[in-house]
Amino acid sequence: MADEAPSNQPNTGGNRPSLSLHVPEPKFRPGDTVDFSHIDIGEAGKQPRPDESCAPEDMRDLAYGLIRVLGEDDRAHGPWDPKLDPETLRTMLKHFATVRAFDERMFRGQRQGKTSFYMKCTGEEATSISTAMALASDDMVFPSYRQQGVLIVRGYPMIEMINQIYSNKGDKLKGRQLPIMYSSREHSFFTISGNLATQTPQAVGWAMASAIKGDSRIAATWVGEGSTAEGDFHSACTFATVYNAPVILNVVNNQWAISSFSGFAGAERTTFAARALGYGLAGLRVDGNDPLACYAAEQWAANRARANGGPTLIEFFTYRAEGHSTSDDPSGYRSATEREDWPLGDPVMRLKKHLIALGEWDEDRQAAMDLEAAELVKKTTKEAEANGILGHGLHHPFRTMFEDVFEELPWHLKEQAEQAVHERKTKFPDGLPNGGKGA
C-alpha cells in the first residue's frame, strides 16, 4: 500500500516475478568438445568499402559483419584488398616470423628464471604488425602490453626490448617498469601502462593536442576487449567523438581477459565495433587473423583521421591462442581444442599461403626465414644477457630508484633514500643472497 513504510524485507510474494540476473558463462570449459558453428564469419570480399568520409550512420552494417579479404582459396578478394606488392607482404611475413621467434624465446627465458614475466601475442600478430604497417612511422601509438609487433615494425632495437625484459643494467627504463612495458619516444611509442585502458584517453588527448597544434600526425591506441569495460575507454570514446579527434581506437577482441571470457565485457549482447555507433564514431569489425583485412581497415581509419574525417573504432575479431601471460594456465578454464577449432585460422599461415598462391613464396624460403628469425633472437638474447638477467645483480644501482622524477630530490625522499641504502647494506653486507651486488 502506498502509505506503508518501505520494508527492507524482500518482496517475494504476489504475482510479480522474482528478479534474476544473467551471469555469462563461456560456451566451452576444459574437456568440452568445441563447436564454433554459431560464429558467422561471412565470405571474404563481400563487405562494401565506403569512402573514408562516410558518415558513421551510413556504415552501420560494417560494425556487425566481418571485413575479410583472404578467402579459403588463399587469394585476396573484394574492395578491401589493400593491393600490397609482394615485397611488402614478405616484409610483413618477416615481422610475423620475428615476433613469433621472439615470443618463444622470451617465454622460455621466463621459465629459465631470466625474467619474472612475459606475455605472448601468438595468433594476434596481424592486429599489431599489419596495422602498424598501415600507419606512418611517426604517428603516435598508445599500445597495450600485447603489441610488441608495433615495435618490431618500427625497427626498435631488439636488444633494448630484451634489456627491458631482463631489467638489467642496459634497461633504458632502469628496471622501473614491469617486463614488456616498453617505452620509446624516438619510435613514437607511448609508455605502456599495466593499468588497463588508461592508454585510450591518453591517445585521444594526444590526438586532440596534435590537432590543436595544427600538426599532421594522428594517434592510434590498442585495447583488449575485456578492457573496454573500463570507464576510461568510454571517456575516450566521448572525447574522440565530441572533438572529432584524429585517432584510431583499435579493440583487440581475442575473446579472453585472463580467465574471463568476452561475455563479461558484453560480447553476448552486441559486437565491440557496435559500441562505436552509440557514440557516433565510425565502427569497423574486422577478421583479426586476416593480415590484409587488418592492414586495409587501419589504413582506412588512418586516411579518415588524417583528412579530419574523425575517429574510428575498429574491432579485430581474433583468438588468444596461448595463455594470458607466463603467470597463467588456460587449461584450467577453457577447452584445449578451441585453438585448432577456431574458424579464422592463424594469421602467419594465412599470409604464407597467400604468398605461395601468388607464386611469390615457398616452404623452403619460409623455413629459412623462420630459422633466420630464431637465430637473430638467439644472438640478441646472448648480447642482452651480458648486461644481466633477473637476480644476477647486473641491474641499475639500487639508489637510482629515487632519481629522475624531481629536478632536485625533496628532503624527505633524500632521507628515505639514505635509509633504504643503509638498511640494505646492514642487512646484506656481502651483497644480496642471490648474488646481487646491491647499491
Ligand X SMILES: Cc1ncc(C[n+]2csc(CCOP(=O)(O)OP(=O)(O)O)c2C)c(N)n1
Contact footprint for Mg ion (CB under 5 A): 224-226, 254, 257
| Cell (9 digits) for 432 | 644480496
- Rounded to a whole number of angstroms, the minimum distance from the CB of residue 165 to ligand X is 17
Choose the contact partner of 324 out of ligand X, Mg ion, none; CB within 5 to 8 A by kind.
ligand X
In whole angstroms, give the CA distance from residue 381 to residue 384.
5
According to the binding rule CB under 6 A, does residue 194 interact with ligand X?
Answer: yes
What cell does 303 get? Answer: 586516411
Q: Which CB atom, from 256 or from 295, has the smaller least distance to Mg ion?
A: 256
Number of residues that bind ligand X (CB under 6 A): 15
Per CB under 6 A, the segment of 67-75, 135-143, 193-201, 347-355 that binds ligand X is 193-201
Identified binder of ligand X from the candidate list 95, 146, 187, 354, rule CB under 6 A: 146
CA angle 103, 107, 113 (to 5 degrees): 145
Cβ distance 28 to 338 under 8 Å?
A: yes
Per-residue x/- track, 303-322, ligand X (CB under 6 A): -----------------x--
Backbone angles phi, psi at 249, to 5 degrees: -105, 100
Interface pick for ligand X out of 149, 175, 224, 310 (rule CB under 6 A): 224
Residue 170 CA to residue 163 CA, distance in Å, equals 5
Judged by DSSP in three states, 252 sits in strand
Retrieve residue 433's grid coordinates: 643472497
The answer to whether residues 236 and 242 touch, using CB atoms and an 8 Å cutoff, is no
- Residue 321 and residue 15 in contact, taking contact as beta carbons nearer than 8 Å: no
CB of 257 to ligand X, least distance (A): 3
Smaller CB separation from ligand X, 130 or 168: 130
Q: Of 258, 357, 420, 432, which one interacts with ligand X (CB under 6 A)?
A: 258
Cβ nearer to Mg ion, comparing 257 with 296: 257
> Does residue 68 contact residue 37 with C-beta atoms inside 8 Å?
no
Q: Is 324 in the site for ligand X (CB under 6 A)?
A: yes
Asked if 225 is part of the footprint of ligand X (rule: CB under 6 A), the reply reads yes
CA neighbor of 172 nearest in space, from 188, 154, 153, 191: 191
The residue at minimum Cβ distance from ligand X is 224
| Beta carbons of 399 and 418 less than 8 angstroms apart | no
* Chosen residue from 45, 201, 226, 288 binding ligand X by CB under 6 A: 226
Name which of 277, 269, 273 is nearest 287 in CA terms.
Answer: 273
Q: Is 123 a binder of ligand X (CB under 6 A)?
A: no
Residue 239 touches which of Mg ion, ligand X, none (CB < 5 to 8 A by kind)?
none
Q: Which residues in this chain contact ligand X in the complex, by CB under 6 A?
A: 146, 194-196, 224-227, 252, 254, 256-258, 320, 324
